[in-house]
Amino acid sequence: MPDFLEVLKTRRSIRQYKHRTIPKEIILEMLDLCRYAANAHNSQPFRFIVILNTDLKKRLINAMTARYELDLRRDGVSKTTIQKIITHSKTRFLKAPVLIVACLTMEDMDHYPDQERQRCEFIMGVQSVANTLQNLLLIAHARGFGACWYCAPLFAPDTVKEVLNLPSSYLPQAFITLGIPDETPPPITRKPLEDLIKILE
Ligand SMILES: Cc1cc2nc3c(=O)[nH]c(=O)nc-3n(C[C@H](O)[C@H](O)[C@H](O)COP(=O)(O)O)c2cc1C
């Protein structure tokens, strides 16, 4: 197991995977670990749908890309460009050995009578889901797997809910793809630390 700080520094988004999948027990072990993330009130408002069934995955991705295509047409994007984008998007998800849909449920979060505090509570829910997902990316990397976070479900929540028959309280937030890496992304640059922080002494 590599050093924790080294894991933090070397994790990268991996979008190309080898054909082999990850055994279900290992996926469960990674999900078990990621839920220890800090989260609002310990309400644990995150839910994970692990899609291992190829037909179901195809149905989901086809429905989502059909929806995406409509949005692109409305944006006035040319037919050729749309075709390229859709093919690229489909390939990415269909070739990923494991596809996880991360959802937020507000059921066990606090409820406020006013919109402003309810909005804050919703943000806390979203932050809590994001925290577990960052854990998942780090755990996958530490275990030698590759992972990537995709925002696609945020843009087609109704489609995701319908195809996967999710409970009405589930709010799809992200896809996480997982697999054995088949690429080594080049080093990435980050903004200088001094641009991101302000020390008040
Ligand atoms: C909220 C969020 C949404 C993201 N959505 C996408 C996405 O839709 N497609 C994609 O290729 N990568 C997506 N990513 C991955 C980022 O592009 C990636 O983390 C960023 O470029 C930094 O690269 P690194 O993860 O290799 O350090 C997303 C990451 C986050 C945290």
Give the CATH number, domain containing residue 127. Answer: 3.40.109.10
Asked, for residue 13, whether it belongs to a domain, the answer is yes
Classify residue 67: in a domain, yes or no.
Answer: yes
pLDDT band at 2 (very low <50, low <70, confident <90, very high): low
Asked whether residue 19 is domain-assigned, the answer is yes
Across the chain, mean pLDDT equals 97
Evaluate if residue 132 carries a pLDDT over 80. Answer: yes
pLDDT at position 33 over 70: yes
* Residue 25 in domain: yes
pLDDT digits (tens, 9 = 90+) for 159-196: 999 999 999 999 999 999 999 999 999 989 999 999 99
- Please name the residue whose Cα sits nearest to atom 11 of ligand 1: 150
Number of domains present in the structure of the chain: 1
Question: How far from 187 is each of 12, 70, 143, CA to CA, in Å?
Answer: 9, 36, 20
**Residue 56 in domain:** yes
pLDDT digits (tens, 9 = 90+) for 56-100: 999 999 999 999 999 999 999 999 999 999 999 999 999 999 999
Q: Please name the residue whose Cα sits nearest to atom 9 of ligand 1.
A: 150
Assigned domain for 201 exists = no
Looking at residue 194, its amino acid is E
CA-nearest residue for atom 17, ligand 1, is 13
State mean pLDDT over 41-46: 98
Residues with CB under 6 A from ligand 1: 12-13, 148-152, 185, 188
Domain that holds residue 77: 4-196
Distances (CA, A) of 85 to 66, 68, 80, 110, 164: 12, 9, 9, 40, 24
- Structure pTM? 0.97
The whole-number pLDDT of residue 105 equals 98
Look at residue 154 and tell me if it is in a domain: yes
Q: Is 128 part of a structural domain of the chain?
A: yes
Q: What integer pLDDT is reported at residue 89 of this predicted model?
A: 96
